[in-house]
Chain A
Amino acid sequence: MNGTTATAALSVANLDRSFGGLRATSDVSFDVAEGTITALIGPNGAGKTTLFNLITNIIRPNAGKVLFHGHNITGVTPARIAAMGLVRTFQTARVFPGMTVLENVLVGRHRLLHAGTLAQMLWLPHTRREERNLAAQAEALLDAVGLASYRDTHAVDLPMGAQKLLEVIRALMAKPRLLLLDEPAAGLNDSETEELAALLRAIRETGITVLVVEHNMSLVMNVADQVVVLEAGAVIARGRPDEVQRNPRVIEAYLGSDATTQDFDAQDSDAEEARP
């Protein structure tokens, strides 16, 4: 273990995973420094979500390892990884159906509760107290993202954007040290994306490290401290947002080999295809 991994919240080393003949990720390595926001970007099919699944061990890597604050978590069960403080959200919002918005948020704290099932059955005072404190915190978080008035709504009745926000604060309830967000801005409109950017900065303020997969470039350039670019399962660039934005390989990956820096800035690829 070298000097950088000791301070890194997350250190991904040489991760490999193939599905049949397809190499979904090959030799992926990068570090996420503690207390920063790192954005993981790349074209569709670049392997971003696969990488998330490999880090949280929902899919097992063929080779390589994942260090979380210096601990090797390769092969540890998803539930144990969450219990260590690495919490993730999913690409399509996965709120729990059949439960209200408030109850969904409360599930987030599950791993940190002390009251046992037996104590809950006996309605012991400390379990009641714990539940009350928990509900108060959950409502404060709901309030912060503007969902307080929907606390008793069936969670799946929320619009998609609100479900994604709900998933983020549910993950926050788990008091993560590192938060993995998979496309949190998908399905959000511009003003909601602004709110999300503010929320991400507020999360960083509290000392939580964030790794986010995102397609919305303005959000990425706005909030990320570091950007990692994946293409076809391999890391092709990493660095500060403005560095990555000028990187010829990144521009090529997004727009094809003839593109220039201006094309990337203008996002003008439609004109190419419209030509007969």
Chain B
Amino acid sequence: MTDFIQLLVGGVLTGSIYALIALGFSLVYRVTGVINLAQGAFCILAALTCHSLQAELGWPVWAASLGGIAMTVAAGAITGALTFVPGLSRLSNANMLMMAAGLLTMAEGGILVLWGSQPYALPPFSGNRPVEIAGILVPTQGLWVVGTTLLTIACLWYLLARTRLGRALRACAENPAAARLMGIDVPRMTLLAFTLAAFIGAVAGVVIAPATSLQFDTGRLFTISGFVAVAIGGIASFPGSILGGLLLGLVNHFATAYVSSLFSNAIALGLLLVVLVWRPSGLVGAGVTRRQDVREEARVWKHVVRLKPPVAWITAGIALVGAALLPTVLPEGAILSSLVIAGILFIALLGLDILMGYAGQVSLGQAGFMAIGGYTAAWLAVEHDVAPLLGVLAGMALSLVCALVLSVVTLRLRGLYLALATLAFGLLVDSFAIGFSDITGGPSGLVGIPSFAVGGFEFDTPLSMYYLVLVLDAVLVLLFAGAIRASFGRALQAIRTDQMAAAALGVDVVKCKLTAFAISAMLASLSGSLYAFFFHFLSPEMVGTARSLELVAMLVIGGEGTLVGPLLGGILLTMMPAVFQPLASYKTFFSGALLVLCFLRLPEGLFGGAVAGLGRLFRSRQAPPALVGEGMAP
């Protein structure tokens, strides 16, 4: 019984941390309709700043804590003003989510540059000795956490329910368009909510810091925990977020104690998926449903990117010949290997482009399928001597099955909730990869994976892999170009923007989505298998959430909905550290920054920008007559 109560207390302590992070999510969501994935970055930024102020400048704990919070709030306000607020007026909610993912990546990269990759530990506020209450041991820091959580909830409640400012914030949450008409400065309120969320995140980070070990990517873990909590509890409601946080903390503690620590994450994620199927908006519904449509009107559509067929064929031919001749002038080394990796990732990107760029289905868990393909093929090859080609096919088949099962959840979801479900899937696969250590080698990875081979021929050099990947990429692009430029591609694009109008024309929406999802899963799986064979090694973090987010960044930077554009993004992000060795540690930062920049400045990506540039260059043939003023009279 004491054990049980001890677990209960531990669960509540952990849960109140999650609840605090979840509150930040909920606040930004309620005012803007966006899930701000950068929430966890505020925590880690505040915690590490606090550490540096203590360790480097010798500030006392309270001063360092306040300093850390102040600096984080300032950084949050600047980031919000430069990226988040301008983004809101021109991006769809799903794209805002991915821009927030970019902000998280950027913050992670920035922290990596400033603090390096080593772990940090902060001393507790009031000593290491736990307090004993009725035979139950409670760490003092836990009391600080619970106290801070309660205080934050109380302050937030007072602000929103009892002040003029709070009323304005709530008006923005319920109907921004109407709020604007009532004279409320919506962008300013948005910035305020974002900064307030940064403040809550920073406070959480500072009090949590002594209870956990800190590293550059801890922010992502905070984000994920808070995000799972908020998704379970109900993102549109503060009580829901708190409940979700406490529930997640309890589930984690009890699962660790009674099942296994390796699977406690998997159980929490399983719970999330069940909630998503059962009640997509979370356990606690919002009092007022957020009017999503009010803001969706503001979405600005990008230009159509189309190359004329002869131009496309000629460009593709030149690019292919160039790529085939490239190794003759390149020394065999890091650059060639990076090109191989970019080519392998491009296979997954092709699938992601069909799913996201064409069908408009957000996926933040694509690396989950890479993991399935990679581990299946590698395990079969290492443990059972199965020919690599068969292993690749087995991985693709397994991915297809998983995709079909997952689609039971995803087919019912759109936009944010779809992103949530796919992210949860990626995390679930990730936790299995760590948990099933007999098969996957656990956190330290699977070693001794052979080279890819077909028949008797082994692709055991970077050069042979380069040509294999080149041929594979070219064939896949040709195949999918055939379907994309015909009715399949048109149906996907129709679904992307208007499912109802597409259905009214007889387009089978479910079948199209399912096909796109299955294709993307199998391509990601193929990519994951080749990745494992090329590295002769596979660890969970090579195909984890960071990889999923990186794939999205590559897709957006290269150009969504262009089929070949993502290759540019892939090459750019893969080559950067290889070409500019001294800048290698900036890679994560640049990848995030480029993603954010593309969303704000170049929504058609590099490829779209290049095509538009070419179009301006060759603007000679009959331009259509001007459309202005026609048909506008009532």
Indicate if the CB atoms of B497 and A97 lie closer than 8 Å: yes
Task: State the CA gap A90–B502 with chains docked (Å).
Answer: 12
Q: Known A98-B301, A189-B633; judge A90-B486 contact (CB<8 A).
A: no
Set A88, A153, A187: member contacting B504, Cβ < 8 A: A88
Residue of A nearest to B302 (CB): A98
Q: State whether the Cβ of B311 lies closer than 8 Å to any Cβ in chain A.
A: no
Residue of A nearest to B357 (CB): A98
Binary interface profile of B, 481-520, with partner A (CB < 8 Å = 1, else 0)? Answer: 0110011101101101110111111111100000100000
Task: State the CA gap A97–B561 with chains docked (Å).
Answer: 13
Task: State the CA gap A78–B508 with chains docked (Å).
Answer: 10
Indicate if the CB atoms of A149 and B503 lie closer than 8 Å: no
Indicate if the CB atoms of B627 and A99 lie closer than 8 Å: no
CB distance from B494 to the nearest CB of A (A): 5
Task: State the CA gap A190–B301 with chains docked (Å).
Answer: 30
Q: Which residues of A contact B601 (CB under 8 A)?
A: none
Set B480, B487, B494, B622: member contacting A99, Cβ < 8 A: B494
Binary interface profile of A, 165-204, with partner B (CB < 8 Å = 1, else 0)? Answer: 0000011001000000000000111101000000000000
Q: Which residues of A contact B479 (CB under 8 A)?
A: 121-122
Binary interface profile of A, 248-273, with partner B (CB < 8 Å = 1, else 0)? Answer: 00000000000000000000000000
Task: State the CA gap A154–B490 with chains docked (Å).
Answer: 14
Q: State whether the Cβ of A246 lies closer than 8 Å to any Cβ in chain B.
A: no
The A-contacting residues of B in range 288-329, CB under 8 angstroms, are: 301-304, 306
**What total of A-B pairs shows CB separation below 8 Å?**
135
Q: Which residues of B contact A174 (CB under 8 A)?
A: 505-506
Indicate if the CB atoms of A79 and B301 lie closer than 8 Å: no
Indicate if the CB atoms of A100 and B306 lie closer than 8 Å: yes
Q: Which residues of B contact A123 (CB under 8 A)?
A: 478, 482
Task: State the CA gap A121–B483 with chains docked (Å).
Answer: 5
Set B301, B500, B504, B632: member contacting A97, Cβ < 8 A: B301
CB distance from A159 to the nearest CB of B (A): 4
CB distance from A54 to the nearest CB of B (A): 14
Indicate if the CB atoms of B497 and A98 lie closer than 8 Å: yes
Q: State whether the Cβ of B630 lies closer than 8 Å to any Cβ in chain A.
A: yes
Q: Known A78-B500, A96-B497, A98-B493; judge A158-B627 contact (CB<8 A).
A: yes
Q: State whether the Cβ of A143 lies closer than 8 Å to any Cβ in chain B.
A: no
CB distance from B583 to the nearest CB of A (A): 35
Selecting from A3-11, A22-30, A101-109, the interface stretch reads A101-109
Set B306, B506, B515, B634: member contacting A152, Cβ < 8 A: B306
The B-contacting residues of A in range 68-119, CB under 8 angstroms, are: 77-79, 82-83, 87-88, 90, 94, 96-100, 103, 106-111, 113, 115, 117
Task: State the CA gap A158–B633 with chains docked (Å).
Answer: 14
Indicate if the CB atoms of A111 and B507 lie closer than 8 Å: yes
Indicate if the CB atoms of B490 and A107 lie closer than 8 Å: yes
Q: Which residues of B contact A115 (CB under 8 A)?
A: 486-487
Q: State whether the Cβ of A133 lies closer than 8 Å to any Cβ in chain B.
A: no
Task: State the CA gap A217–B506 with chains docked (Å).
Answer: 31
CB distance from B81 to the nearest CB of A (A): 29
Task: State the CA gap A159–B507 with chains docked (Å).
Answer: 26
Task: State the CA gap A170–B494 with chains docked (Å).
Answer: 12
Residue of A nearest to B478 (CB): A123
Residue in B303, B488, B561 with the greatest tally of chain A CB atoms within 10 Å: B488
Q: State whether the Cβ of B456 lies closer than 8 Å to any Cβ in chain A.
A: no
Indicate if the CB atoms of B494 and A122 lie closer than 8 Å: no
Task: State the CA gap A20–B387 with chains docked (Å).
Answer: 63
Q: State whether the Cβ of A141 lies closer than 8 Å to any Cβ in chain B.
A: no
Q: Which residues of B contact A150 (CB under 8 A)?
A: 624, 627
Q: Which residues of B contact A83 (CB under 8 A)?
A: 506
Set B302, B487, B632: member contacting A113, Cβ < 8 A: B487
The A-contacting residues of B in range 446-492, CB under 8 angstroms, are: 478-480, 482-483, 486-488, 490-491
Set A97, A106, A153: member contacting B490, Cβ < 8 A: A106
Q: Which residues of B contact A100 (CB under 8 A)?
A: 304, 306
Q: Known A78-B500, A99-B304, A107-B490; judge A161-B631 contact (CB<8 A).
A: yes
Q: Which residues of B contact A (CB under 8 A)?
A: 301-304, 306, 478-480, 482-483, 486-488, 490-491, 493-494, 496-498, 500-509, 515, 561, 622, 624-625, 627, 630-634
What are 11 inter-chain pairs, A to B, with CB distance below 8 A? A83-B506, A110-B491, A111-B505, A113-B487, A123-B478, A123-B482, A127-B482, A161-B632, A170-B505, A187-B632, A192-B631
Given contact pairs A156-B301, A162-B630, a sample of 7 additional A-B residue pairs in the complex whose CB atoms are under 8 Å apart: A78-B500, A78-B504, A79-B503, A79-B508, A87-B505, A110-B507, A127-B482
CB-based closest 5 A-B pairs:
A161-B631, A111-B506, A82-B506, A189-B633, A97-B301
